[in-house]
Structure 1
């Protein structure tokens, strides 16, 4: 046997042997630490070809509560929009976009708590806000923490221009009113009454009607009902007694059926011209025979736009057995905005100033057609619709009478606060 192969007894001093053992232990510990580090940063960028750090997005929306149906549409649209904007990868430059859902149930205080929690967990982008009251409370939190906030179906005009970090993926009340104003014709000397809930959404509509039709010479008053009210007959009676030339109804949530029942019972439709926004598809049968007498303005209904993007969204929803509805585009558009902003950051949302700059002034093809994020105040310029409802009950179907171009219904510029 060669000498090099013989087992030999070490003649090294004991200290050297102890040092060798310590070195071996440290080496083993080093392997353990390296293993833990690798396991703990599975989503971090790696020069060795590992997965890249994900982009964390927080969705704070009404999964439950009075506006849960709207929240469901928004979420479905967001998923479809993310798939569309990333070409099926759900990633930008190899960075996966991971979104976490939080249910605010329409409660602003709960939404604020959830927004703070998501920011603490590394979300640099927040989206959602089904309710206007929620959006108005979450927006300041986003600004304080310098994270991007893209409000959803929340329509309150005050969201526009609220701060440099806040954008919106839906329409706002002023755009609704501009669409409604076209039904009245010459507003000078006319009386307009707004029937709405005493909420951020309802008050925003009153303010918008006064800003648009009041400026055109109409006198504007309001009948406001508590959001918790279930007996709406007294408010329908007040609206009829006001004897307006036009009754503008701004209503949202589960009590819509009770409202239209009360208006029918009080024969309000025979007493005045009624204009309202067309709500989600499930509400169409609620209008009954009166539906064909109402003048509807519309943000969106499935099939209203006829664009290629709308067709792509509809096809994506169909895979899960879904169909587009009034606020599906708001989620879809939000996802498009998130992806565009992250693309500007080359797969990162760390520098919010880059995200903001990418969105300001951006024009793109959305579900409703060409959309523009106005740089001066972050309003989302978009077309609106005048719609007729035909048929009764389950047979009720909307058709577009006129598409109003984005510039015709654009809200006035509201300089960004701060």
Structure 2
């Protein structure tokens, strides 16, 4: 499926003073491709990300575009499958002639697209959290504008040991994102003085988790770390509660995203969850965040305006900010066409920003060496059927040395 947006400032451009070739060049649209998870297991994420990106483009084009040029959006469905994502990335570049590619919340899709981005020399900004994306699976054309698993686990490990428990059972979905969570949690919880007793991997889409959990969550365990989302999360918390209703739980990033915690009830009551963007406006009630939520159509409780349904807030802030990272990179580098991609990439390496409506999540930067965003986190907790912020984790706690240095790679 392909969707095209051309929100125009062409009339404004036609009134400009640039004659001949320069005027024509100014009118040439900048094309952005989006590999969105519109169907399959991540469809709710694909919907929210696409809606958010459309809102960002609407804002950009209404304000004159980028360097006086309108922006077009081309959307392809990954079907939430890595192999499909790679094919759709190639289609966007080779058939639709896009200049930049964004999204996929699937780490599997992002990892599959990364070598294609390098081959086709096209800057790529996925919204997936596997550490490898800004590590050995990344390259100079790939940026990670959302927090990754290593940042998230390193950032919360000490707090988790001090406030939740020391002896842990890990329960993760069996694919790239789950593996990253298992690896990083095992390392950093040990460094914080904790211990992992068991690690359980469960296939995506499993409705009955009891056979996998049987005998794993013993009385010795203080807590469970759960890396699952969507329907997998619902099945997991139900069955963990059936085995050990007293055990404490910590969810990986956005495990609670779009979940109706009041409806779920006891299985999630008291549960903690890592997040890089709070569910409720009250936790970050800034003018920038209020404006951002209004523009994407989300109310103070995280519900979609017009439908009243829970909106998946997972990394949609990162996709919104990515549009303005691209804008700043183009304007800073003087980018005109694909031939200027090296200049664009160098401009984004080390880019910094302050919180604003364009960057509602807060102050941040893109680390030059590994192309990873540097920002802080939150820990949320379910309390009496609602979600509140239990702790704020500063960027100093999430930072770790770069795994790679892409600035040394040739274009």
For the criterion TM > 0.5, the same-fold answer is yes
Report the more deviating stretch, 331-340 or 275-284.
Answer: 275-284
Match for residue 330 of structure 1 among 302, 315, 318: 318
Shift, 1:362, TM fit: 1.1
- Name 2:390's counterpart in structure 1: 401
Deviations 1:326-373 (A, max 9, x none): 332122112111211222343634211111111111111322210111
State how 1:130-209 maps to structure 2 within 5 Å: 130-152=105-127, 154-161=128-135, 162-185=138-161, 190-209=166-185
State how 1:286-305 maps to structure 2 within 5 Å: 287-300=264-277, 301-303=279-281, 304-305=283-284
State the secondary structure of the residue aligned to 2:250: strand
- Name 1:113's counterpart in structure 2: 87
Question: Is the 8 Å Cα contact of residues 264 and 290 (structure 1) preserved in structure 2?
Answer: yes
Deviations 1:98-139 (A, max 9, x none): 110010011111111111111113212111121000001101
- Name 1:36's counterpart in structure 2: none
State how 1:82-101 maps to structure 2 within 5 Å: 82-84=57-59, 86=60, 88-89=62-63, 91-101=65-75
Shift, 1:217, TM fit: 4.6
Q: Within the alignment, does 1:47 sit opposite 2:35 as a pair?
A: no
Q: Within the alignment, does 1:264 sit opposite 2:241 as a pair?
A: yes
Q: Within the alignment, does 1:224 sit opposite 2:201 as a pair?
A: yes
Bigger relative CO (Cα 8 Å, ≥ 6 apart): 1
Distance 2:27 2:51 in 1: 26
Distance 2:347 2:22 in 1: 31
Where in structure 1 are there 5+ consecutive unaligned residues? 1-41
Report the more deviating stretch, 201-210 or 251-260.
Answer: 251-260
Distance 2:344 2:245 in 1: 48
- Name 2:361's counterpart in structure 1: 368
Q: Within the alignment, does 1:380 sit opposite 2:373 as a pair?
A: yes
Report the CA distance shift for 1:184/1:198 in structure 2 as closer, same or farther (over 3 A).
Answer: same
Q: Within the alignment, does 1:353 sit opposite 2:342 as a pair?
A: yes
Aligned residues: 366
Report the CA distance shift for 1:377/1:357 in structure 2 as closer, same or farther (over 3 A).
Answer: same
Question: Is the 8 Å Cα contact of residues 184 and 246 (structure 1) preserved in structure 2?
Answer: no
Distance 1:157 1:399 in 2: 27
Shift, 1:375, TM fit: 1.0
Shift, 1:144, TM fit: 1.5
Q: CA RMSD in A?
A: 2.6
Report the structure number with the largest CA radius of gyration.
Answer: 1
Distance 2:381 2:56 in 1: 28
Distance 1:144 1:243 in 2: 50
What TM-score, normalized to structure 2? 0.81
State the secondary structure of the residue aligned to 2:208: coil
Where in structure 2 are there 5+ consecutive unaligned residues? 1-13, 299-303
